[in-house]
Homo-oligomer: A and B are copies of this chain.
Amino acid sequence: MSKRSILHMLDPMPHNSPFDVNMAVDAGFDVLMPYSNVKLDSVHRLVQDAIFSRGPAGVKQTAMFIGGRDLGLAMDMLNSCKQAMVPPFEVSVLVDPSGAFTTAAALVACVAKQLKDQHGKALNECTALVFGGTGPVGIATGIIASLAGADIALVDHLLLATADDAAKEYNRRFGCTMRGAVATNAAEKSALIEQVNLIFCTAKAGIQVLSAEVLQHAKQLKVAGDVNAVPPLGIEGINSKDFGVPLAAAINSPKAVAVGALAVGNIKYKLQQALLKTMLETDKPLYLDFRNAYAMAEQLL
């Protein structure tokens, strides 16, 4: 009888996320084991405890998931996992804190797809703003798009320093080239978006970031994507299901199109399922982070 598959779910937060649990069940893992309040220095021991007990056939049916809310910590935990492996006693690991990596990968891939289909352009020809740019999804969006060549500014809604710090920290870490920016009111938003080609809206659910009045200042906008599915949506006039539909509110960018939260969510869902299933099917252990998520999101589109 083949061994049942096991997903050891490590989370630095007080509780594992029911979202991740549901996804892992639906991806087909037989047994899910939660570990919450996991500290970075516990990861090594947990991994070594996980890899040595099932034999060579068993490790292929064993995988780990790293959640939480902090991107840097999650990546540190992934690195700690890698260092703890003792090939051939080695298992696959997926890291997706707060779903930020899969959400960001889906968002960037959807926007890039429309950019290509509707405008014949690629990310490396574009300037882009990430509103909500200092949260987990925003930072991951910025990193992915920057590594794909876009000229990225992470926009904080309160302080420039917060955005600058995030940009610097993750530039250093992943070799990308983001800047910080700030927009605390409509006037500052209007000024920021005037010449920008792409807008990623990753602010909190239920908050309208860009009103129609602000959007009319955009003169070079090509694609705007939003991940907020809870009304009011992040961009006025956008529809959650939009995928390449004209963004009418951007009256001075008549060719601008929108990507709504459900369009992104649909890809994010398929993407997370695909990543989880990949760990069950691979013959060689995989370490899956935002880079793999983006590559797979591109394939899904």
Interface residues of A (CB under 8 A from B): 3-4, 6, 8, 14-19, 21-23, 25-26, 30-35, 37-38, 42, 46-47, 49-50, 52-54, 58, 62, 86, 230, 269
Contact = CB atoms under 8 A, between A and B. Distances in A.
Given A4-B25, A22-B50, A26-B53, 7 more contacts: A3-B26, A15-B46, A17-B49, A18-B35, A19-B53, A25-B31, A86-B230
Please tell me how many copies of the chain the complex holds.
Answer: 3
A53 B20 CA distance: 8
Contact of A25 (B6, B18, B35, B37): B6
Nearest to A22: B53
A33 B16 contact: yes
A132 to B, nearest CB: 17
Contacts of A62: 22
A33 B49 CA distance: 17
Contacts of A46: 15, 18
Contacts of A32: 31, 33
A205 B176 CA distance: 39
Contact of A38 (B15, B17, B230): B15
20 contacts: A3-B26, A4-B26, A6-B22, A8-B18, A8-B21, A15-B46, A16-B35, A17-B49, A18-B33, A19-B49, A19-B52, A19-B53, A21-B50, A22-B50, A22-B62, A25-B31, A26-B53, A26-B54, A31-B32, A53-B269
A1 to B, nearest CB: 9
Of A6, A15, A53, the most chain B CB neighbours within 10 A belong to A53
A25 B62 CA distance: 11
A17 B46 CA distance: 7
Contacts of A34: 33-34
A22 B48 CA distance: 12
Contact of A42 (B14, B22, B31, B86): B14
Contacts of A47: 18
Nearest to A51: B18
Contacts of A53: 18-19, 22-23, 26, 269
Contacts of A38: 15
Nearest to A55: B269
A-B interface, 4 closest residue pairs, ranked by CB to CB distance from nearest: A18-B50, A19-B49, A22-B53, A18-B49
B15 A58 contact: no
Nearest to A8: B18
A263 to B, nearest CB: 15
Contacts of A50: 18-19, 21-22
Contacts of A16: 33, 35
B15 A54 contact: no
A49 B9 CA distance: 15
